[in-house]
């Protein structure tokens, strides 16, 4: 792609780093931004920059938050010792939308995936095991989706906490959360949380 402007080229290059955005789409988006009133484009740039600079990760559950302790963890009405293990904030949002879960979350930040070079130490697993060790968990609910990576991650965590006196359960198999929520309606997801099954049972199926 030949550009008559280096500034334009730079913007297109940056935009095309986004997932699913090729050079042509990037050019279309950049030209769109250029056609907008200047303040609109600057507002977008500022929102991105402020988000990147100021965003925090909850020190209890690792969810994306504006404060040190996220709104869910700081809500006194949530059940502290029932913890739902999820991959990322999309899962938290999906489950929160069902209004079927009153416990807290633990956000791993990914799934174990040897193919992608992601091992247990790359994820936020140790703080969860630490909580288990300290007796702060009564029930752990796995909600990682039933991909091979999800299963591997569930099983790894299960092994780590097996020695502690914790009830483990999983949402119904075949239910996808977060990223794949478009395939699952809220009622189905909500029902699968309420009717969660013992983790050991899921291993046998
Ligand atoms: Zn939190």
Supply the pLDDT for residue 205.
Answer: 56
Q: Does domain 70-204 have CATH number 3.40.1360.10?
A: yes
Architecture of domain 6-54: Orthogonal Bundle (1.10)
- Interhelix angle 6-15/23-35, rounded to 10 degrees, is 120
Cα(13)–Cα(7) distance, integer angstroms: 10
Spacing, Cα 61 to ligand 1 middle (Å): 4
Spacing, Cα 201 to ligand 1 middle (Å): 29
**Which has the closest alpha carbon to 168: 130, 203, 124, 119?**
203
Spacing, Cα 73 to ligand 1 middle (Å): 4
Q: Residue 172: helix, strand or coil by DSSP?
A: coil
- Interhelix angle 148-161/126-133, rounded to 10 degrees, is 30
Supply the pLDDT for residue 182.
Answer: 46
Query: For residue 61, how far is the Cα from the chain centroid?
Result: 11
Contacts of 96 (CB under 8 A, 6+ apart): 72
Spacing, Cα 34 to ligand 1 middle (Å): 38
C-alpha distance across the termini of the chain, in Å? 53
Q: In the chain, helix, strand, coil percent, each to 5?
A: 50, 15, 40
Spacing, Cα 8 to ligand 1 middle (Å): 40
Domain spans of the chain, in order of start: 6-54, 70-204
Which regions in the chain score pLDDT beneath 50? 181-183
**Which has the closest alpha carbon to 63: 73, 53, 77?**
73
Spacing, Cα 103 to ligand 1 middle (Å): 11
Supply the pLDDT for residue 171.
Answer: 86
**Stated pTM of the model:** 0.82
Spacing, Cα 135 to ligand 1 middle (Å): 18
Supply the pLDDT for residue 48.
Answer: 96
Supply the pLDDT for residue 187.
Answer: 78
What's the chain's average pLDDT? 90
Spacing, Cα 109 to ligand 1 middle (Å): 13
């Amino acid at each position: 792609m030949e550009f008559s402007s280096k500034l334009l080229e730079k913007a297109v290059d940056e935009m095309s780093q986004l997932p699913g955005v090729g050079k042509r789409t990037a050019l279309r988006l950049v030209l769109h931004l250029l056609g907008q009133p200047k303040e609109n484009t600057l507002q977008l740039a500022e929102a991105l920059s402020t988000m990147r600079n100021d965003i925090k990760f909850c020190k209890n559950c690792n969810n994306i938050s504006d404060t040190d302790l996220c709104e869910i963890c700081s809500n006194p009405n949530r059940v502290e010792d029932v913890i739902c293990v999820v991959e990322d904030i999309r899962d938290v949002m999906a489950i929160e939308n069902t209004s079927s879960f009153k416990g807290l979350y633990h956000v791993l930040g990914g799934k174990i995936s040897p193919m992608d070079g992601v091992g247990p130490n790359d994820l936020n697993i140790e703080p969860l095991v630490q909580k288990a060790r300290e007796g702060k968990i009564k029930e752990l609910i796995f909600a990682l989706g039933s991909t091979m990576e999800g299963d591997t991650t569930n099983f790894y965590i299960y092994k780590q906490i097996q020695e502690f006196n914790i009830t483990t359960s999983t949402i119904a198999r075949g239910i996808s959360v977060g990223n794949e929520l478009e395939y699952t309606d809220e009622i189905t997801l909500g029902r699968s949380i309420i009717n969660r099954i013992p983790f050991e049972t899921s291993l046998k199926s």
